[in-house]
Amino acid sequence: MSYQDGSQGTAVENATGAPVVELVDVQRHFGATPALDGVSLSVQKGEILGIIGRSGAGKSTLIRCLNGLERPDSGSVIIEGQDIAKLPESALHPLRRRIGMIFQHFNLLSAKTVIENVALPLKIEGRGRAERLTRAAELLDLVGLSDKRDAYPAQLSGGQKQRVGIARALAARPSLLLSDEATSALDPETTRSILDLLKRINRELGLTVVLITHEMEVVRAIGDRVAVIDKGKIVEEGPVWSVFSNPAADITRRLLAGILPELPAHLAATLPPGTRLVQVDFAGNLDDGRLVLDRSSESRAFRILHGGVDYVQERPVGRFFIAVNDTADLDPFLATVRASGARAEVLVR
């Protein structure tokens, strides 16, 4: 479905340079089971890409291929122009320093203070103590934890631990930040604060971010694009607002359940005999929603049962469920809605 919004696109959408990340037909099997089955993706500089899927879909294997911890059976994993799938282990070490990693369970060293945890990647690099501590202090200020520099992980909340993990991931000035279910162990309020921090870091540092998650709300909050993985294959990808407004794959629709409006069963059960039910989805143009509302108010033959409008990536995304009585001519209404670029599906004739 094509939505018309007149937008010129974001800087990321208009990017023309070489991608920071490019996967080309990546295959990875464990025995006879394909964990990745021909995955191809690219991520532009400064972009936030969300990779979403259910447990066992291939997300963990994909992120391990991106940081070089897993070697694909075939295909290319290109990071900043280098195919890391073909590099010897010795050549991977300097490249891994260009990739920051945020973990679900923080992975902090309990016997080290906050500032020592943040400085650890620089110690591994062989940087001097003064340089390490100066950089770590700057990053603790960035993530809002300057006052916790001498605390130990056991003295921190979950959100604070994740902020330390983010600071540590930034220590070596990476060009790519990988987030592996970084908010799934946090409560909703803390999750929002961490996502706001990641978005701010993305904007202020121009950092490219790949989010691995099973939560559509995470992608919705900060993603530029989303790729949906299922059974080792990318089944759908595109700008977040577009995929949310018109999911093409069944798995995407299931992952979106609870985010997009659904018609309550008790409303559907009360429809008079002969009533037609139409679902209208629109995105990118609020006039499409007004068209639905205006057309539905012209006559008692059309009645909005349920729905609403939300904003994803600053674009209106809406869904309405409209009851049409058996005396109304449905076809002109459908034609008008579809001509506007919205999607109209007759659920009950």
What percent of the chain lies above the pLDDT cut of 70?
Answer: 91
Expressed as residue numbers, the domain containing 222 is 21-255
Q: What is the CATH number of the domain that holds 104?
A: 3.40.50.300
**Mean per-residue pLDDT for 39-49?**
96
Cα 221 to Cα 246: distance, rounded to the nearest angstrom: 18
Lookup: tokens for 228: 């949906």
Decide: 217 and 259 in contact? Cβ < 8 Å: yes
Last residue of a domain, one of 255, 281, 298: 255
Assigned domain for 193 exists = yes
pLDDT digits (tens, 9 = 90+) for 53-88: 999 999 999 999 999 999 999 999 999 999 998 888
CB atoms within 10 A of CB 272: 8
The DSSP result for 278-305, as a single string, is EEEEEES-HHHHHHHHHHHHS-TTEEEE
Cα 19 to Cα 193: distance, rounded to the nearest angstrom: 29
Mean pLDDT of the chain: 87
Quick one: 275 and 251 in the same domain? no
Quick one: 99 and 189 in the same domain? yes
Assigned domain for 1 exists = no
CA angle 66, 68, 71 (to 5 degrees): 100
The DSSP result for 68-90, as a single string, is TSS--SEEEEEETTEEGGGS-HH
Q: How many domains does the chain have?
A: 2
Q: How confident is the model at residue 147 (pLDDT cuts 50, 70, 90)?
A: very high
The angle that helices 114-125 and 129-142 make with each other, rounded to 10 degrees, is 130
Could you give the C-alpha distances from 126 to 120, 122, 241, in angstroms and in order?
10, 6, 44
Q: How confident is the model at residue 315 (pLDDT cuts 50, 70, 90)?
A: confident
Q: How confident is the model at residue 6 (pLDDT cuts 50, 70, 90)?
A: very low
Q: How confident is the model at residue 1 (pLDDT cuts 50, 70, 90)?
A: very low
Assigned domain for 7 exists = no
Quick one: 25 and 113 in the same domain? yes
CB atoms within 10 A of CB 270: 11
Could you give the C-alpha distances from 345 to 238, 301, 319, in angstroms and in order?
22, 17, 11
Assigned domain for 8 exists = no
pLDDT at residue 8 greater than cutoff 50 = no
Quick one: 249 and 312 in the same domain? no
Quick one: 273 and 199 in the same domain? no
